[in-house]
Amino acid sequence: MTLLTRRKLLNFIVLTLSGMAAVLGLFMLSWILGDVAWKGFSSINWDFFTQLPAPPGVQGGGLVNAIIGTLLMTGTAACIAVPFGMMSGTYLAEFGKNNLVGHLIRFLADILVSAPSIVIGVFVYLVLVKPMHNFSGWAGAVSLAIIMLPVVSRTTEEMLRLVPPEIREAALALGSPYWKMTFVIIYRSASSGIATGVMLAVARVAGETAPLLFTALNSPYWMHGMNEPMANLTVVLFNYAMSPYDDWHRLAWGAAFLITMTVLAVNVFARIMLRAKRRMS
Amino acid sequence: MCRSSVCISINWLEEDLRLVSTGRRPHLELMQRMNMNKNKIWGDLVFRGLTAAFASGIALIFIAIILVLWQQSQPSITKFGFSFLTSMSWNPVQEHFGALIPIVGTLLSTFLALVFAIPLSLGIALFLAELAPHWLRAPFGTAIELLAAIPSIVYGMWGLFVLGPLMADYVQPFLKKTLGFLPFFSGPSMGIGMLTAGLVLTLMIIPFISSVTRDVFLMVPQPLKEAAYGLGCTTWEVVRDIMIPYGRKGIAGAIFLGMGRALGETMAVTFVIGNAYHLSWSLFSPGNSIASTLANEFTEADGTIYLSSLIELGLVLFLITLIILSLAQIWLRRSQTGRT
C-alpha cells in the first residue's frame, strides 16, 4: 500500500466514523421522541386535562392540578426573573462591558447557568421552606426563578449588544438621557430577541424537576393558593414513573409527552423567530 | 451637587481618554456624558446604580448559596470532619455518614459519560462544521441542539423503561459473554446501574459538547484550512493538524462544560443508577451519585445530623462543579479572545 492510499484510507475511515456519529445522534433523538410520542400520546385524553389524579387501581384520572401548578409556578418564576434578569443584563451590556465587576458577574452568571439545579433546590429549602415550616408553591417558583435569572440576564446582554451603536448615538445626539435611550430605543430594537430568550428560559425551567422536589413538593389535591405544597408535572412524573402501578406509568408517559412537546415546540418556534430576525437585519 | 457632578465628569473624561488610547469606541460614552445637564446626570446615575444593584444580585445569590450550605452543614462538618469525604458508611439509623460512595458514583458516571460522549461529540461537530453538505448543516445542527432541550427527567424515564430492559436483555449478557473475564463486566444483568447511568448521561451531554465544539471548529480561519488543503492534506489531516490544535482550548472548554453538566445531573441519573450504597468493580452493579442521593433522601431526612450531612453533600457537589465550570469558562473565553 502506498502512502497516498494509506492516507486516503485513514481519511475515509475517520470521515465515515464522523458521519456515523452524526447519524447516531439523530437516531437517538428520534428514538427518544418516538418512544415518548408513541407511549404518551395514547394516554392524552380529555380526562388527562380535566380530572384530578386517581388512586392506584382506580381507572381514569388526570393531572389537571399538576398542569395548573406547573403553569402557575413557571409564570411566577418568569415574573420574578425577567425584570431582574433584564436589569442585570442591561448593566452587563451597557456599563459592565470591560470593567472588573462586569467580568466577574458575567463569569458567575455563566457558572450558575450550568450549576446543578438540585443544589438550588437545597438552597431554597434552607432559605424559604425550613424557616416557614412548609413546602409551598412560592418556594418552587423562587427556585425556578433563580435558575432562570442567569439565563435571562446573559441573553438580554447579548441581544442589547446586537443593537447597532449608530442607533444609540442618534438618540444621545438628540439629547436623550441614557436611561431614556435604553428604555425607549434599545429595548425596543432588541425586544424580539429578548422575548425569544425569555421563551427559551421559560421552556427550560418548565422541564426542571430537581429544584422542585424539596420546595414545591407535590400534592394530589386542588390548590388553594401558592402557600401550600403544589402539584407540578415534573415531580408527578417522577413519582408516578418510580411507582409500581401501570396506570400511573401511563399517566407519567402522558406527562412526559406533554412536557417534551411543549418544550420542543417553544424551542423550534424561538429558533425560527431568531432566524427570521437575523435575515431581516 | 455641582461639584460632585464635575468630579464625575472629570473621572469619566479620564476613563474616555484611556478608552481612546486603547482604541475602543469611545465617542458613544463621550457624547453621553457631554450633553448632560444636572437632571440628566442624576437620572442616569440612578439608572446605572439600579442596574448595577440587580446585576450584583446574581453575585449575591451565588455567595449566599455557598454560605448557607456551609453554615447549615456545620453539624455534620464538626461531627465527621474530613472523614466525611473518605468514609464509606451511610447509615441513617446509627447516624454515621460518609460521602465516599456518592462521590465515587458521581465521578464514575461522569467519567463513563465522557468516555462515550467525547469521541461521539467530536465526530458530530466535525460532521456539522466540515463534512455535511451546506443545506444539511442548519437543520442537523438544530436537531442536535434539540436533544439538549428535552427535559432531563424524560431522559431518565426513557432510560428506566426503554434503555434499562434493553441493557438487561441484550447488552449486558453480550458484554459478559465477550468481556466477562474483566471485573467491570460481571455480576447480574439488572439493566439499571452505573453503565446505564453513564449511557443516559452520554446522551444528555452530547449536544452541549458537540454544539460548542462545532462553533470552535467554525472559528478556524478559512485561509489556514485552505493552505493546508492546497498542500494536499486530506480532510482528516486538516482536522488533526489545523482545526484541533487551533481550537484546542475551546474544545477543552466544551468538554469541561459537558462534564459540569454530567456531574450535577439529577433526574436522568436518579432513575437508572439503582440507588444502592455499595462500591463494586462491576459497572453493572447499582450505585449512587450525590445528586441522586439528595433527590431520594432529602425530604425523608429526619434528625439534624442526617439533614446536615445531605446539605454537606450538596456543598461538595456545588464546589466540584464550580471548579469544573470555572475551568470551562476560562478556556472558552481564552479561545474566543487572544489565542496563542
Domain assignment of residue A14, yes or no: no
**pTM of structure:** 0.89
Domain assignment of residue A35, yes or no: no
The answer to whether residues B317 and B263 touch, using CB atoms and an 8 Å cutoff, is yes
Residue B94 in grid coordinates: 446509627
Domain assignment of residue A65, yes or no: yes
Domain assignment of residue B110, yes or no: yes
List of chain A residues whose C-beta atoms are within 8 Å of the C-beta of residue B206: 25
List of chain A residues whose C-beta atoms are within 8 Å of the C-beta of residue B128: 22
* Cβ-based contacts under 8 A for chains A and B: 268
- In this complex, the residue of B128, B144, B260 whose CB is nearest that of residue A114 is B260
| Whether A146 and B61 lie within 8 Å, measured CB to CB | yes
Domain assignment of residue B73, yes or no: no
User: Looking at the predicted structure, is the pLDDT value of residue B300 above 90?
Assistant: no
Asked if B42 and B115 sit in the same domain, the reply is no
Number of domains observed in the structure of chain B: 2
Chain A: residue whose CA lies nearest to B315: A119
Measure the CA–CA gap between A22 and A11, rounded to whole angstroms: 17
Measure the CA–CA gap between A66 and A239, rounded to whole angstroms: 12
User: Looking at the predicted structure, is the pLDDT value of residue B253 above 50?
Assistant: yes
Number of domains observed in the structure of chain A: 1
Domain assignment of residue A49, yes or no: no
What average pLDDT score do residues B23-42 get? 56
User: Best residue in A114, A202, A257 to probe B by mutation, most B CBs within 10 Å?
Assistant: A114
Q: Which residues of B85-97 are buried (b: 16+ CB within 10 A; e: fewer)?
A: eebeebeeeeeeb
CA distance B320 to chain A (A): 10
Each of the 281 residues of chain A gets a pLDDT tens digit; together they read 788 999 999 999 999 999 999 999 999 989 999 999 999 988 888 888 888 888 877 777 788 999 999 999 999 999 999 999 999 999 999 888 888 889 999 999 999 999 999 999 999 999 999 998 889 999 999 999 999 999 999 999 999 998 888 888 888 888 888 888 899 889 998 998 899 999 999 999 999 999 999 898 888 888 888 888 999 999 999 999 988 888 889 889 999 999 999 999 999 998 888 887 777 65
List of chain A residues whose C-beta atoms are within 8 Å of the C-beta of residue B274: none
Measure the CA–CA gap between B48 and A179, rounded to whole angstroms: 8
Which residues are CB-contacts of B23 (< 8 A; sequence separation ≥ 6)? none
Asked if B107 and B25 sit in the same domain, the reply is no
Determine the structural domain holding residue A235 and report its residue range.
60-280
- In this complex, the residue of B149, B236, B311 whose CB is nearest that of residue A11 is B236
Residue B280 in grid coordinates: 463494586
Domain assignment of residue B135, yes or no: yes
- pLDDT at position B15 is 54
Measure the CA–CA gap between B82 and B136, rounded to whole angstroms: 54
The per-residue pLDDT of chain B, averaged, comes to 85
Percent of chain B exceeding pLDDT 90 equals 54
List of chain B residues whose C-beta atoms are within 8 Å of the C-beta of residue A35: 158, 162
List of chain B residues whose C-beta atoms are within 8 Å of the C-beta of residue A210: 266-267, 291, 295
- pLDDT at position A90 is 94
Name the amino acid, one letter, at B231: L
CA distance B330 to chain A (A): 9
| Whether A92 and B55 lie within 8 Å, measured CB to CB | yes
| Whether A91 and B264 lie within 8 Å, measured CB to CB | no
Confidence class for position B39, pLDDT limits 50, 70, 90: low
- pLDDT at position B40 is 60
Determine the structural domain holding residue B301 and report its residue range.
81-336
Asked if B184 and B309 sit in the same domain, the reply is yes
Asked if B191 and B222 sit in the same domain, the reply is yes
Measure the CA–CA gap between A92 and B185, rounded to whole angstroms: 51
- What single-letter DSSP state applies at residue B182? S
| Whether A91 and B54 lie within 8 Å, measured CB to CB | yes
List of chain A residues whose C-beta atoms are within 8 Å of the C-beta of residue B131: 15, 18-19
Q: What is the CATH classification number for the domain harbouring A101?
A: 1.10.3720.10
- pLDDT at position B340 is 37
- pLDDT at position A222 is 83
Collapse the DSSP code of B47 into the 3-class scheme (helix H, G, I; strand E, B; otherwise coil) and give the result: helix
Q: What is the CATH classification number for the domain harbouring B306?
A: 1.10.3720.10
What does the pLDDT look like over B202-247, one tens digit per residue?
A: 999 999 999 999 999 999 999 999 999 999 999 999 999 999 999 9
Domain assignment of residue A6, yes or no: no
Measure the CA–CA gap between B49 and B43, rounded to whole angstroms: 10
What does the pLDDT look like over B110-162, one tens digit per residue?
A: 999 999 999 999 999 999 998 888 899 888 888 888 888 999 999 999 999 99
